[in-house]
Amino acid sequence: MAALTLEECLPSNNDLWVQQWIGEILKSMPPQGDNYRLHPAVQSFKEAIESSAELTTHFTQMFAEQPTNYIAPNFVKDYHHMLQLIDHVLTKAPEYYNNNQMPAFPIYAILFRTMGTVSGRAAFLNATVNHHIKNILNVWLKYLQSPESCYVLTTNGWFSTRAMECMGGNFERDFICDPRKPHYGFTSWDDFFTRQLQPNIRPVAYPDDNKVIVNPCEAAPFRIESNVTKHDKFCIKGMAYNLKFMLANDQLADRFVGGTIYQSYLNTCNYHRWHSPVDGKIVKAYVQDGTYYFFPETDDYTASQDYLTNVQTRALIFIEAANPYIDLMCFMAVGMAEVSSCEITIAEGKKVQKGQQTGMFHYGGSTFCLIFRPGVELEFDLHDETPGLTANNILINTRIATVPE
């Protein structure tokens, strides 16, 4: 079975697949009367909205401002309807939708047409809103870690022929699983999503050569930027990198001013664990909370991945490379939308080998950056891929850059 390209796996029309999915969810929802009881986390969110004049205004206006080209009746009417839909999908796992499209991330789909409005951008930058969204996503993660979430792990869903092709074309060869067992032996959606590679299936390129930097994720190259500034013009439309914000005002940020950023992105079908790009020692590692559904003023959420590195939840892992020429570098995993659970599995002060696991994403597709100091010359090897949204995956642990002797 041959692997599909990224372009073949992605939906051709975001609006259409979101609207179709919302329509299916609306059909499955029980009647919602005045006495409909929300999950406590969703109810708390509702109370936060309604206790603030600012938030009430934003959440009312965002629905009035959403584009009118939605196919009726598949749309979210107001924030009350939004909260009911969010409540309903807390017991829904991501589906491989229609067997020929990327899955609709439930909460992203519900908010899709309001995130990019003026009021939506103001609301989803709000710290109180993001606090409540984090609590809601934590509730959802518990469900995704339960056996009940396995219902999508079937030959009509994630183990369909097309889904398998999007996951590389040879699932049983690549991943630890047991096709003789129900759900291929996975105990939950999250267990499937954070699946592990078979031993030695992705050998580390040049394991004894510290000049070689390997790909830390199974991902497609998005952008390479040199001479990055600490206080670049913070412009949503310009999609500028800003080290101050990217590195969460960390005191180590100054050491990367004028350096190079390599960014790559993952889709939902990818392997979602992170591996170290170099031999070295973990200097510092932590997760920085951020926004979850802030939508920059662009036509495509995925196209704004460079800007989202400034504001989304992200894991920062600073590595002192064994190669003194590289010295300090940073791996930054960015959790986008539902992918807000960035889990670091390596401790500060520990030595790490090139290709060793350092953490993982939960929920869905995302992006990462490698950040290098100024003066570090890098000869990139992108395996004939051109950075951008049409690039295809470069396998994890393969060489992506080399530094001089």
Q: Going from the N-terminus, what domains does the chain have, and what CATH number goes with each? A: 6-148 (no CATH), 212-402 (2.70.70)
pLDDT at 365: 63
pLDDT band at 267 (very low <50, low <70, confident <90, very high): confident
Model pLDDT, residue 73: 56
pLDDT of residue 133: 92
Instruction: Give me the pLDDT at residue 72, please.
Output: 54
Mean pLDDT of the chain: 86
Average pLDDT value for residue range 183-194: 96
378 or 338, higher pLDDT: 378
Element (H, E) at 110: helix 106-111
- Residue 285 sits at φ, ψ, to 5 deg, of -155, 125
DSSP for 190-239, written as a single string: HHHHTPPBPTTSSPPSSTT-TTEEE-SSSBEEEEEE-S--TT----TTTT
Torsions phi, psi for 318 (to 5 deg): -90, 125
How confident is residue 70, by pLDDT bands cut at 50, 70 and 90? low
pLDDT confidence tier of residue 399, bands split at 50, 70 and 90:
very high
- Confidence (pTM): 0.89
Query: What would the mean pLDDT of 385-396 be, rounded to a whole number?
Result: 91
Residue 152 has pLDDT above 60, yes or no: yes
Q: Quote the pLDDT of residue 302.
A: 52
Determine the average pLDDT of the residues in 74-83.
86
Region 183-210: what's the mean pLDDT? 96
User: What confidence score (pLDDT) does residue 204 get?
Assistant: 97
Question: Whole-angstrom Cα distance, residue 165 to residue 292?
Answer: 29
Cβ neighbours of residue 354 under 8 Å, at least 6 residues apart? 204, 207, 212, 214, 276, 277, 278, 279, 397
Q: Which of 308, 290, 310, 289 is nearest to 298 (CA)?
A: 308
Q: Coil, strand, or helix at residue 87?
A: helix
* Lowest-confidence region among 74-83, 96-105, 154-163: 96-105
SS3 content of the chain, % helix, strand, coil (to 5): 30, 20, 50
Q: Residue 3: pLDDT band by 50, 70, 90 thresholds? A: low
Q: What is the mean pLDDT of residues 344-365?
A: 92
